[in-house]
Amino acid sequence: MATGQNDPERRERIIAAALDLIAEEGVAGTSHRKVAARAGVPLGSMTYHFDGMGELLREAFTRFSGGIVAVFEERLGAASTTDEAREAVADLVHHLSGGNQRELVLTHELYTLAAREPVYRELTREWMRRSRVALERHFDPATARQLDAMIEGLSIHRALETEPHDRALTVEAIARITRSPCARS
Amino acid sequence: MATGQNDPERRERIIAAALDLIAEEGVAGTSHRKVAARAGVPLGSMTYHFDGMGELLREAFTRFSGGIVAVFEERLGAASTTDEAREAVADLVHHLSGGNQRELVLTHELYTLAAREPVYRELTREWMRRSRVALERHFDPATARQLDAMIEGLSIHRALETEPHDRALTVEAIARITRSPCARS
Amino acid sequence: MATGQNDPERRERIIAAALDLIAEEGVAGTSHRKVAARAGVPLGSMTYHFDGMGELLREAFTRFSGGIVAVFEERLGAASTTDEAREAVADLVHHLSGGNQRELVLTHELYTLAAREPVYRELTREWMRRSRVALERHFDPATARQLDAMIEGLSIHRALETEPHDRALTVEAIARITRSPCARS
Amino acid sequence: MATGQNDPERRERIIAAALDLIAEEGVAGTSHRKVAARAGVPLGSMTYHFDGMGELLREAFTRFSGGIVAVFEERLGAASTTDEAREAVADLVHHLSGGNQRELVLTHELYTLAAREPVYRELTREWMRRSRVALERHFDPATARQLDAMIEGLSIHRALETEPHDRALTVEAIARITRSPCARS
DNA sequence: AATGAATGAGGATTCATTCAT
DNA sequence: CATGAATGAATCCTCATTCAT
């Protein structure tokens, strides 16, 4: 019955399918059955490759957050001046809150898990840490931290708004956070 | 047999129980059965009082977001100077990201729903709108919007961080967003 | 879909079906599916009527041991002299170890559970207690206890033997246990 | 790659692991996976060394019953007088029904199998036969048979009782079975 | 000779919902 | 008006076994 033939990319395919499904139907709507069907693997494969739904979810979100961080690092790494860095940050906000529901949805699914389970909080913590490190290539630590939070807030609000704010607002917010303090407040 | 029109608060109790349950086990782990058990009502009541799980969830989150907004409005309404408003905002950030897992969890559960379903996005939109209105009592519209996003970002990052940042950072971020522009940028 | 019409004997039917199935395939081979099929009820009924497999098993064995004890009490109750009691005991041994695999199998299934789980040991304890009480109507407590053990051992060995021993041996064993001590040991 | 003909005791280790597992979780809870994990061998080994679960179980119980019989034979073999033999029998009852859950559990698991499947009944038959032979070194055949049953019954009842009877009762029962008949009943 | 990979069948259980009462 | 009874679908997961290597 079983063919036993190696399909080394099967694990990867399952993870990808899981991520797609989570994006479409949410963690709540994700089941072994649906993931298996989408990945084109038999149901029995699921618990063979992953030690239960928990492991699959963890792998999927590890992959996801890793991808987001990579974009983050790449864009900020490409900036060579502070102004370019500011532009990159604005790009990131609009990239994250743009048309792609996918990333928005997945981010919130992850945050929801993280809000309740420590294992996922580890993931978000690492994500935030690396974001900050990337920002610290251009800004001092306190500014980096504030900027990171600003990015978060702007992205979320932009994405959940029916009429998302335009770039000018984003740029202005970034400017305020990153400009050197005035001589007199 | 019939008890007449008894227990008029039953609906309320069910909603409260649902909210508690969502906070503890998430939307995914919430079921008619569990809510009924926690509210101390018969299972049959659930689909009698609510037209399915959807309606119950909507009611629950309407109540929840309403409560959060009320706190928001109250605190900002109590501020009479701009500086007091800044303090109020800092208070709100630290209140939202403080020990109370409950609000963090429920917020993310709602955002997760909103990221996918328009019905819930309506709820978050209204929430954000009223927040902004409250902020506009003290700040100009653009600043209010940025501040609102900043509150969001700071709250989330503070809550998901293992070592939450201290108040100084929050205060500084608020100051930067709300300070008048320098003569020379 | 659901008819909701009462079927008050359904619980009983399920228990009876479970007992039959256990007799045929053992506790290990007993599943919700099989019991449901045999009882002619939908699978969903199982966990509606019983709080899981555990409860079903407990109910089934409670019924079973109760039935055995009832026969025991009845037969011993009908005896009016010590000699009749001795005959009744022999009857019981040969009844229990006779052609009916069913009772033998069920007894061992129960003992196996009792050997591991206290909840079932409670059942066997009560069974033994009532057996002893029934025997004490005709014999002193120590003799009753020994006789009860003898019945147990003879029944088991008779049932597991390919060529079961004949009644004479049973009668002789009972006689030895129940005869008054000699003047000189 | 190939380790050659290494680990010749692997079969033994698997059987030992299986027996431990059966004692802990029962035949029902025993699976290739669990046995393999406990024995520290790859899952694939199981069906390589044993032709399915059945063979493994048979081997395991053969080993088990052999061990019990050996103790039986040894203790009775060491007795040189009838009185010593009586003491040995009492020892055996209290050994079997003592603290060691393990033997009680395994015995019942085996009896349960034997009650249903002839293959295992062969095992118990041989066990009983050898027990009787051992007893016949000290007692006549009919007495041996009765004594064997008595041992069985006393052991089971003692083990399943919450307050196990003391040695006096065991000794008395053995005495009654083994004493020569009185001149006058 | 030995095993890692793989899978279809079946395990218990939970569920939202319906309907007769 | 209110609900206990009922159920089919779906849940995750475990399993014995097979086969290519």
Average the pLDDT over each of A84-98, B92-106, B145-159, D164-178 and give the range with the smallest value: B92-106
Residue C160: which of D125, D142, D183 has the nearest Cβ? D125
* Chain C closest-CA separation from residue D181 CA (Å): 8
Contacts of A167 (CB under 8 A, 6+ apart): A90, A94
Strand E lies under 7 A from the Cβ of residue D28: no
Residues in Cβ contact with D49 at an 8 Å cutoff, skipping those fewer than 6 apart? D10, D11, D14
Give the mean pLDDT of B9-28.
92
Closest CA to B176 of A146, D80, A122: A146
Residues A111-117 have a mean pLDDT of 93
pLDDT greater than 60 at residue D85: yes
Does D2 score more than 50 pLDDT? no
Distance from CA of D44 to the nearest CA of C (A): 24
> Cβ neighbours of residue D145 under 8 Å, at least 6 residues apart?
C157, C165, C169, D132
Q: Which residues contact D125 (CB under 8 A, 6 or more apart)?
A: C160, C161, C162
For chains D and C, tell me whether 3 or more CB atom pairs sit within 8 A of each other.
Answer: yes
- For the cut 50, the answer to whether the pLDDT of residue A161 exceeds it is yes
Cα distance between residue C162 and residue C165, in whole Å: 9
Nucleotide closest in space to A6 (CA vs C1'): E5
Q: Is the pLDDT of residue A3 over 70?
A: no
Domain B58-184 classification at class level: mainly alpha
Q: Mean pLDDT throughout A15-21?
A: 95
- What is the CATH number assigned to the segment(s) D1-50? 1.10.10.60
Whether pLDDT at D4 is above 50: no
Q: Which residues contact D155 (CB under 8 A, 6 or more apart)?
A: D92, D93, D96, D97, D104
pLDDT at C163 (0 to 100): 85
Nucleotide nearest to B10 (CA to C1'): F2
Comparing alpha-carbon positions, the chain C residue that sits nearest to D101 is C115
Q: How large a percentage of chain C has pLDDT more than 90?
A: 82
Which residues on chain A are in Cβ contact (under 8 Å) with B159? Answer: 115
Strand E at less than 7 A from CB of A49? yes
- pLDDT at position D126 over 60: yes
Q: Name the token pair of C174.
A: 């009972």
8 A C-beta contact, residue C85 and residue C76:
yes
Dump the DSSP string for B95-126. HHTSS-HHHHHHHHHHHHHHHH-HHHHHHHHH
* Interface probe, candidates A30, A57, A94, A108, chain B, greatest B C-beta count within 10 A: A108
Nucleotides on strand E lying under 7 Å from protein C-beta: 1-21
C67-89, pLDDT tens digit by residue?
A: 999 999 999 999 999 999 999 99
Q: What whole-number distance in Å separates Cα of residue D155 and Cα of residue D108?
A: 12
Distance of CA B185 to the CA centre of its chain: 36
Cα separation of A38 and C16, whole Å?
43
Provide the angle, in degrees to the nearest 10, between the axes of the packed helices D101-116 and D53-78.
120
Residue-wise pLDDT tens digits, C132-169: 999 999 999 999 999 999 999 999 999 998 888 899 99
pLDDT value, residue A87? 96
Window from D25-39, D72-86, D170-184 with minimum mean pLDDT: D170-184
Q: Find the Å distance, CA of residue B156 to C1' of nucleotide E8.
A: 45
What radius of gyration do chain D's Cα atoms show? 19
Tens digit of pLDDT for each residue in C9-30?
889 999 999 999 999 999 999 9
Longest CA–CA separation in chain C, Å: 79
Pull the structure tokens for residue C131: 């057996």
Residues of C in contact with D148 (CB under 8 A): 153, 157
Q: Is the pLDDT score of C91 beyond 60?
A: yes
pLDDT in the model for residue A9: 83
Q: What is the mean pLDDT of residues D150-172?
A: 93
The chains in contact with chain B, meaning 3 or more Cβ pairs closer than 8 Å, are: A
Check D185 against C162: CB less than 8 A apart: no
Q: How far apart are CA B24 and CA B17, in angstroms?
A: 11
| Domain residue ranges in chain B | 1-50, 58-184
Residue B176 corresponds to which tokens in the numbers above? 């930067």
Contact A112, B108 (CB under 8 A): yes
Q: What is the DSSP letter of A177?
A: H
- Find out whether B136 and B79 touch, Cβ atoms under 8 Å: no
Say how far apart CA B57 and CA B149 lie, in whole Å: 26
Among A12-16, A130-134, D145-149, D158-162, which is the least confidently predicted range? Answer: D158-162
- Tell me the count of C-D CB pairs closer than 8 A: 142
Q: What is the DSSP string of A9-21?
A: THHHHHHHHHHHH
Interface residues of B toward A, Cβ cutoff 8 Å, are 26-28, 101, 104-105, 107-109, 111-112, 114-116, 121, 124-125, 128, 142, 145-146, 148-154, 156-157, 159-162, 165, 169, 172-173, 175-177, 179, 182-183, 185
Query: Smallest CA–CA separation between B89 and chain A, in Å?
Result: 14
Q: How far is CA A16 from CA A63, A71, A97, A137, A182, in A?
A: 9, 18, 22, 32, 49
Q: What percent of chain B has pLDDT over 90?
A: 75
Is residue A41 pLDDT above 80, yes or no? Answer: yes
Q: Residue A8 pLDDT more than 80?
A: no
| C128–D153 CB contact, under 8 Å | no
Query: Residue B108 is nearest to which of A26, A28, A108, comparing CB atoms?
Result: A108
The whole-number pLDDT of residue A181 equals 62
The nt closest to B32 (CA vs C1′) is E16
Q: What is the mean pLDDT of residues B159-182?
A: 89
Phi, psi of D26 (to 5 degrees): 85, 160
CA of C52 to C1' of F6 (A): 16
Q: How many helices (H) and strands (E) does chain B have?
A: 9, 0
Share of chain C above pLDDT 70, in %: 92
